[in-house]
Amino acid sequence: MTRITVTVNGAREETAVEAHESLLTTLRERLGLPGSKNACEQGECGSCSVLLDDVLVCACLVLAASVDGREVRTVESLADGSALDPVQRAFVETGAVQCGFCTPGLVVATHALLRENPEPSLAEIREALSGNLCRCTGYGQIVEAVQRAAKTMYLHGLDDE
């Protein structure tokens, strides 16, 4: 076992991890954060997407021991209490959620996309989310959700000025 210190959703956490353990296991089984999902453990589905030092990664492909001293943000950190963020709200409103197993990963991936590219084209949305599998929706309402989120975030940005 190795001890690591990692900032998760703004809080400093210290925990012991196995040498072969993935960040996904640490989050889900040790830190009580099951929001990131495990649907393949092979980097194929994106259900476990988190931000590691602000970079989108599959938590199942990251060795827990390697995140010592770094910062992780998971889906659990996005809403402010009961208030959803614009991406979450858009997913709810457009019907982009069915069983929802893919949803945490998609919400995190959408955040990563919109921060880099606030006005993505359809092709850019498709490219950016191509690592996230969804078996329920056929993706149509997910695309709509991303477009709606981009629009509200853009309008919101104008409000702030």
Partner 1 sequence: MTLAPPRPGARVKVRGVIGEPAPREDAVPKVKGEFQYASDLWREGMLHGATLRSPYPFARIRKVDVSAAAKLPGVRAVLTQDDVPGKKTYGLMDRDDQPVLADGYVRFVGEPVAVVAADTIEQARAATKAIVLEYEVLEPTFDPIAAIQPSAAKLHPKGNVLERVRILHGDPAAKADVVVEGEYEFAMQDQAALGPEAGLAIPREDGGVTLHVATQWLHEDLDQLAPCLGLPESKVRIVLSGVGGAFGAREDTSIQIHACLLALKTRRAVRMTYGREESFFGHVHRHPARLFYAHGATKKGELVFVRATIVLDGGAYASSSSAVVANAGSFAAGPYRVPNAVVDCVGARTNNPPTGAMRGFGAVQSCFAYEAQMDKLAKACGLDAVEIRMRNGLVEGDAIITSQPLVGSAPIAEIVRRCASLPLPETAAHRDQSELPGGHANVTRGEGVVRGVGYAVGFKNVCYSNGFDDFATARVRLFADAEGPLARVHTAAAEVGQGINTVQLQIARTELGIERVELETADTNVGSAGSSSASRQTWMTGHAVLQACREVRQELVRRAEREGLTLDRTDLADLLDRPIEKTVTYRHQDTEKRRPDGQSRGHVAFMFAAHRAVVDVDVETGLVKVVQVATAQDVGKAINPLGVIGQIEGGIAQGVGLAVMEELIVEKGRIRNASFTDYLIPTILDMPPVIADVIEHPHPDGPYGAKGVGEAPTISSTAAVVAAIRAATNRDLERVPVRPDDIVFGTSSRSGWRIAPGDDPRRAVRG
x/- letters, 18..47, toward ligand FES (CB under 6 A): --------------------xxxx-xxxxx
Torsion of CA 48, 100, 75, 116, to 10 degrees: 80
* Contact residue for partner 1 among 68, 117, 118, 140 (CB under 8 A): 140
Residue 58's binding partner among ligand FES, partner 1, none (Cβ under 5 to 8 angstroms by kind) is: ligand FES
Could you tell me which of 70, 154, 91 has the C-alpha nearest to residue 118? 154
x/- letters, 92..111, toward partner 1 (CB under 8 A): xxxx-xxxxxxxx--x----
Tell me whether strands 55-58 and 11-17 are parallel, antiparallel or unpaired: unpaired
Residue 60's binding partner among ligand FES, partner 1, none (Cβ under 5 to 8 angstroms by kind) is: ligand FES
**CB contact set of 147 (below 8 Å; sequence gap of 6+):** 125
Could you tell me which of 55, 157, 155, 42 has the C-alpha nearest to residue 111? 55
Residues 45-104 touching ligand FES, rule: CB under 6 A, are 45-48, 58, 60, 97-102
Q: Decide: is 119 part of the binding site for partner 1 (CB under 8 A).
A: no
Residues 64-93 touching partner 1, rule: CB under 8 A, are 74-76, 78-79, 84, 87-88, 91-93
Side-chain-side CA neighbours of 88 within 13 Å: the count stands at 12
The whole-angstrom separation of Cα 2 and Cα 8 is 17
Residue 48's binding partner among ligand FES, partner 1, none (Cβ under 5 to 8 angstroms by kind) is: ligand FES
- Asked if 80 and 87 touch (Cβ cutoff 8 Å), the reply is no
Q: Summarize as ranges the residues that interact with partner 1 (CB under 8 A).
A: 28, 33-42, 44-45, 47, 74-76, 78-79, 84, 87-88, 91-95, 97-104, 107, 123, 125-127, 129-143
